[in-house]
Amino acid sequence: MTSQYISWVTPNLDIYSRGRPTKMTESSSNKLLNGDSCHWTSNGKKSSKNGFVKSHGLFQEPQKYRRPREKNQNVTHNSSLYKKPFAESFEETPLLVAVLTYMGYGILTIFGYLRDFLRHWSIEKCHVAREKEEQKDFVPLYQDFENFYTRNLYMRIRDNWNRPICSVPGAKMDLVERVSHDYNWTFEHTGRVVKDVINMGSYNYLGFAENIGACANAAIEATEKYGVGVGSTRCEIGSLDIHEELEQLVARFLGVESSMAFGMGFATNSMNIPALTGKGCLILSDELNHASLVLGARLSGSTIRVFKHNNMQSLEKLLRDAIAHGQPRTHRPWKKILIVVEGIYSMEGSIVRLPEVVALKKRYKAYLYLDEAHSIGALGPNGRGVVDYFGLDPKDVDIMMGTFTKSFGAAGGYIGGKQELIDYLRRHSHSALYATSMSPPVVQQIITSMRIIMGEDGTTLGIDRIRQLSENTTYFRRELREMGFIIYGNEDSPVVPMMLYMPAKIGAFGREMLKRNIGTVVVGFPATPIIESRARFCISAAHTREMLDTALKATSEVGDLLQLKYSRRERPLPSLGWMAEESLLQD
């Protein structure tokens, strides 16, 4: 049995930063009174063009004291910037469900304390790390909430995560069967395999995770020609001709001057942001940015300020503050202001309001770093990511970052942009200087899949996959919504988060779905806020309509069993009138 282990998203690895990464050095928000910002109105060329003559900023503040039933995402504020409707919804948590969820966590916490008490007095065996006898009087190491949560809540439903896979993670996959005899503290493999589980968890948007076909054949050829390891870094003797070829292809694919590829997607973010900004620079980061972006921002030593998720008023306020007040204490202007956003946010399924971000970026002369980890390949009529989706110019985005891990079925990441940027990064980025260069078969897989997406192989296979993905996404989202589940995010996002809320339902949903031969990813704290636990489906172009129907039927069954159909909106959804399937196909 060739076992290829792929770990699913675990809640305590895929940590999102919800809070502010660093404490804001100065809360200047109160200082910007209306009087301070008068001179901005004189600069009102653009705002008058957009019809916002009276507002000081580019985007109007929303009315205060208005509490809509849904968070305001469904309304497009600056519709003139969008070419087509931008439909995104985050239905409010029903009050009763929220109360019951907190109650559930309360009960589990009480039992957690009981178990901790028993462990402390050695009445039961402690399976996890604890202080040594001689360290007892030192500062406690395992007392914070994360540790408590892992010990007493996560451990109880741990069988839903890190499940080993023993086949290619395509539309269907085989799982290694495992059992636990001590309530998930240890697992034992039974030696059996759970066959043909429908895979609703892998980020296999375009279905390029295959072990047969053009990509796999090309990768085998590359292995025969170059071997697997390169054994050096790019700037020493690890630069192969196919690396060059890949970078030129990526630049052409993105429509930028130049690009650069890295062996690891996470390191692309966490090592390149420190190369771009430093002390005296300001990073404006979305509150739901991925851990890699947060880590990169922290490593850079710049000041970090966090704006509300996809909230342009919040971003504009921070930009205006930053320009009006400059650096804290010295009040010197910031050296650089970098806005860091993602294309698709993988936990919310939302798409960045890129046209508005670009407008703000241009107005306030900031730089824009766009992480297209989930959106490249998965969005846009040509699969070229969120820039293509909104029909914008790639040159408006200063730093285009993305991964090859998801849509291309390979590994690694890239950065695209102006020639000077890439030249600078080649000399200054840690992951260019110190990391071993990409493995040739992986590079070949990316080249072949990217050529297919671009249609350079002479077939329409790539465009068919993109169309299939968009069709599947629309179908799956619409069906789930009509069944009465609460679904988050944008209508066009292939990441479909479905709300579960209660802690016991996280475990029950994963287990019940697997009983029906469907593999899903369930997510809880700390990847989400504590009450907003969810299941996340990732739609793939490889899913056939039958597979989706099977999955939907099982989801509906489990939804009835667990009472997950929380949605209180009228069905069928009236606001979806504009979204005929045909119009979506043409995009």
Partner 1 sequence: MNFKNLREYLSWLYYQYLLITGIYVLEPWEKSIFNSILFSAIAMVIYTSYVFVPIHVRLALEFFSKIIGSQPESTVALMN
Give 192-256 as a DSSP string.
EEEEEEEE-SS--TT----SSSHHHHHHHHHHHHH-S---SBTTTT---HHHHHHHHHHHHHHTS
List all residues 6 or more positions away from 213 whose beta carbon is below 8 Å from its beta carbon.
Answer: none
Determine, following the binding rule CB under 8 A, whether residue 126 of this chain makes contact with partner 1. Answer: no
Task: Provide, rounded to whole angstroms, the least separation between the CB of residue 177 and partner 1.
Answer: 21
Give 64-89 as a DSSP string.
TT---SB-GGGS-TTGGG-SS---EE
Determine, following the binding rule CB under 8 A, whether residue 530 of this chain makes contact with partner 1. Answer: no
Q: Collapsing DSSP states into helix, strand and coil, what is residue 372?
A: coil
Determine, following the binding rule CB under 8 A, whether residue 562 of this chain makes contact with partner 1. Answer: yes
User: Which of the ranges 78-86, 223-231, 311-319, 561-569 carries the binding residues for partner 1, by CB under 8 A?
Assistant: 561-569
User: Which of the ranges 15-23, 41-49, 332-340, 554-562 carries the binding residues for partner 1, by CB under 8 A?
Assistant: 554-562
Alpha carbon separation from 384 to 45, 273, 372, 415 (Å, rounded): 32, 23, 10, 14
Closer to partner 1 at the Cβ: 216 or 502? Answer: 502
Determine, following the binding rule CB under 8 A, whether residue 498 of this chain makes contact with partner 1. Answer: no
Task: Provide, rounded to whole angstroms, the least separation between the CB of residue 105 and partner 1.
Answer: 7
Distance CA 587, CA 585 (A): 5
List all residues 6 or more positions away from 217 whose beta carbon is below 8 Å from its beta carbon.
Answer: none
Determine, following the binding rule CB under 8 A, whether residue 119 of this chain makes contact with partner 1. Answer: no
Closer to partner 1 at the Cβ: 156 or 308? Answer: 156
Closest CA to 371 of 345, 337, 338: 345
Site for partner 1 in 463-482 (CB under 8 A): none
Task: Provide, rounded to whole angstroms, the least separation between the CB of residue 523 and partner 1.
Answer: 16
Determine, following the binding rule CB under 8 A, whether residue 295 of this chain makes contact with partner 1. Answer: no
Of 71, 156, 178, 336, which lies in the binding site for partner 1, with binding defined by CB under 8 A?
156
Closer to partner 1 at the Cβ: 107 or 179? Answer: 107
Task: Provide, rounded to whole angstroms, the least separation between the CB of residue 98 and partner 1.
Answer: 13
User: Which of the ranges 48-56, 67-75, 307-315, 555-563 carries the binding residues for partner 1, by CB under 8 A?
Assistant: 555-563
State the residue for tokens 């809070």. Answer: 19
User: Which of the ranges 169-177, 213-221, 358-366, 556-564 carries the binding residues for partner 1, by CB under 8 A?
Assistant: 556-564
With beta carbons less than 8 A apart as the criterion, state whether 346 and 496 touch. Answer: no
End-to-end CA distance of the chain: 44
Q: Which two tokens stand for residue 211?
A: 């072990």
User: Which of the ranges 223-231, 377-385, 500-508, 545-553 carries the binding residues for partner 1, by CB under 8 A?
Assistant: 500-508
Is residue 75 left, alpha or beta, with left meaning phi > 0 and alpha meaning psi from -120 to 50? Answer: beta
Task: Provide, rounded to whole angstroms, the least separation between the CB of residue 502 and partner 1.
Answer: 6
User: Which of the ranges 296-304, 445-453, 504-512, 517-525 carries the binding residues for partner 1, by CB under 8 A?
Assistant: 504-512
User: Which of the ranges 77-85, 311-319, 445-453, 559-567 carries the binding residues for partner 1, by CB under 8 A?
Assistant: 559-567
Distance CA 523, CA 160 (A): 10
List all residues 6 or more positions away from 40 whose beta carbon is below 8 Å from its beta carbon.
Answer: 56, 57, 320
What sections of 498-539 are H helices per DSSP?
A: 503-515
Task: Provide, rounded to whole angstroms, the least separation between the CB of residue 110 and partner 1.
Answer: 9
Distance CA 64, CA 75 (A): 16
Determine, following the binding rule CB under 8 A, whether residue 84 of this chain makes contact with partner 1. Answer: no
Q: Collapsing DSSP states into helix, strand and coil, what is residue 159?
A: helix
Task: Provide, rounded to whole angstroms, the least separation between the CB of residue 117 and partner 1.
Answer: 13
Determine, following the binding rule CB under 8 A, whether residue 183 of this chain makes contact with partner 1. Answer: yes
Q: How many residues bind partner 1 (CB under 8 A)?
A: 22
Of 560, 568, 580, 581, which lies in the binding site for partner 1, with binding defined by CB under 8 A?
560
Distance CA 7, CA 162 (A): 5
Determine, following the binding rule CB under 8 A, whether residue 349 of this chain makes contact with partner 1. Answer: no
What sections of 126-213 are H helices per DSSP?
A: 145-149
Determine, following the binding rule CB under 8 A, whether residue 48 of this chain makes contact with partner 1. Answer: no
Determine, following the binding rule CB under 8 A, whether residue 561 of this chain makes contact with partner 1. Answer: yes
Of 13, 38, 75, 114, which lies in the binding site for partner 1, with binding defined by CB under 8 A?
114
Determine, following the binding rule CB under 8 A, whether residue 104 of this chain makes contact with partner 1. Answer: yes
Binding site for partner 1 (CB under 8 A): 100, 103-105, 107-108, 111, 114, 153, 156-157, 183, 502-505, 507-508, 560-563
